Amino acid sequence: MITLSQTERTIIEASIRDIKDFPKPGIIFKDITTLLNNKEAYSVLMNHLHQRYKEYDLDYIAGIDARGFIFGAALAQMLGIGFVPIRKAGKLPYTTISQKYALEYGVDEIEVHIDAFGDQKGARVLLIDDLIATGGTANAAATLINQTGAVCVECCFIIALNFLDGIKKLQEKTEVYSLIEVN
């Protein structure tokens, strides 16, 4: 399996800006906008993802609303496969299935079109997002993919906040790959 070289990791990590006390005191927000506007870092990232996933025999990339769309759509185009958006509830125009998940204080919901992966049962899908924290959204998204009859073969995250244990829960459902890990 292809993983980041130390040089690639350094380029990508250096392009991600930390913003202290956002969205609330005590939080260090990992800002990927500085990765996106850095042509070298974004190119290194996308080329790495292409190299890693070109041999996975994927049928689709699914991206989680909204930052997963940025990486997922670009990667799908590079791989010559389809892209499927997994959106917050109420944003998709056709018939959907949905999955609720717990937040710190309440619940949220995401959805996907019932025919998002076509008629192909067992379609191989990579789920991608920018960051995994507690894993609620990613777990719900992987569940939705599997409920359509497709198979979530792996989840990919640019950044993993390991101290929140989101990956551990998700690994019960599928393989997980994260490029940058914050302990």
What are the catalytic residues? 67, 104
Give which of 129, 135, 142, 141 is closest to 162, Cα–Cα.
Answer: 135
Residue with tokens 């914050």: 182
Give which of 142, 131, 141, 140 is closest to 164, Cα–Cα.
Answer: 131
| Distance (Å, whole) CA 167 – CA 60 | 22
Residues whose CB is less than 8 angstroms from the CB of residue 100 and which lie 6 or more positions away in sequence, other chains included: 107, 108, 109, 140
Q: What is the DSSP string of 35-71?
A: HHT-HHHHHHHHHHHHHHHTTS--SEEEEETTHHHHH
